[in-house]
Amino acid sequence: MLEKLLKRLADGGAHTPESLARELGVSRDMVERMLADLERLGYLEAAGGACESKCAGCPSAAVCAVGTPQRVWALTDKARRKGF
């Protein structure tokens, strides 16, 4: 199931935790746990940091909704080497 999730993420694209949960037939909670596992095992890495630092200095920061909570995962070289 982890491999299935990794394959899904390897294709890129936008997902919500709910959409991934639906595809895998598990709860959102499980998806979160699997993502954490994949990160811990070195197959996924979170790309980029928190929005706060990036939005500092932007005049629209106070009113901007661009920085809605989101996470971007990139597959690590380790995952790529495994053919994902």
Partner 1 sequence: MRNHDEAARSVPSVLGACCADGSGPTQPVGPCTIRVALVGQPNVGKSTVFNLLTGLNQHVGNWPGKTVERKEGIHRCDGVDIQIVDLPGTYSLTANSLEERITRDYIIHERPDVVVMVADAASLERNLYLLSEILCLPAPVVLALNMVDVAQQQGLGVEPHVLEAALGLPVVPMVASKNQGVRELVDTVLRVYREGPRGVCRPDIREDHREVLAELVNLIAGSVPEPYPEDWVALKMLEGDDEITEMMRARLTPEQWEQVHRVLMKHEDAILAIAGGRYEWVRRMTRAALTVPKAGQITLTDRIDKVTTHPVWGLFVLLGVLGAIFWLTYTIGSPIQAFLDRYLIQAGAEWVRTALAGAPWWISGLLADGVIGGAGMVLTFLPILVIFFAVLGALEDIGYMARAAYVMDRFMHLMGLHGKSFLPLFLGFGCNVPAVMGARIVDSPKARLLTILVAPLVPCTARMAVVAVLAPIFFGAAAIWVSWGLIALSLAVLAVVGIALHELVLGGEHVAFIMELPLYHKPNARTIGLSVWQRTMGFVRKAGTIILIVSVVVWALSVLPHGEVDTSILAAVGRFLSPLGALMGVGWQMMVALLTSFVAKENTIATLSVLLGVGGEGAGLAQVLPTLLTPASALAFLVVQVLFIPCAATVATMRQETGSWKWTAFSVALLFILSFAVGIGVYQLALLTGWGV
| Separation of alpha carbons 29 and 58, rounded Å | 34
Q: Say whether residue 7 binds partner 1 (CB under 8 A).
A: no
Q: Say whether residue 82 binds partner 1 (CB under 8 A).
A: yes
Q: Which of these, 39, 44, 18, lies nearest to 30 by C-alpha position?
A: 18
Q: Which of these, 34, 25, 27, lies nearest to 6 by C-alpha position?
A: 34
How many binding residues for partner 1 (CB under 8 A)?
A: 54
Q: Say whether residue 22 binds partner 1 (CB under 8 A).
A: no
Residues that bind partner 1 (CB under 8 A): 1-4, 6, 8-20, 24-27, 29-30, 33-35, 37, 40-41, 43, 47-48, 51, 54-55, 58-60, 62-75, 82
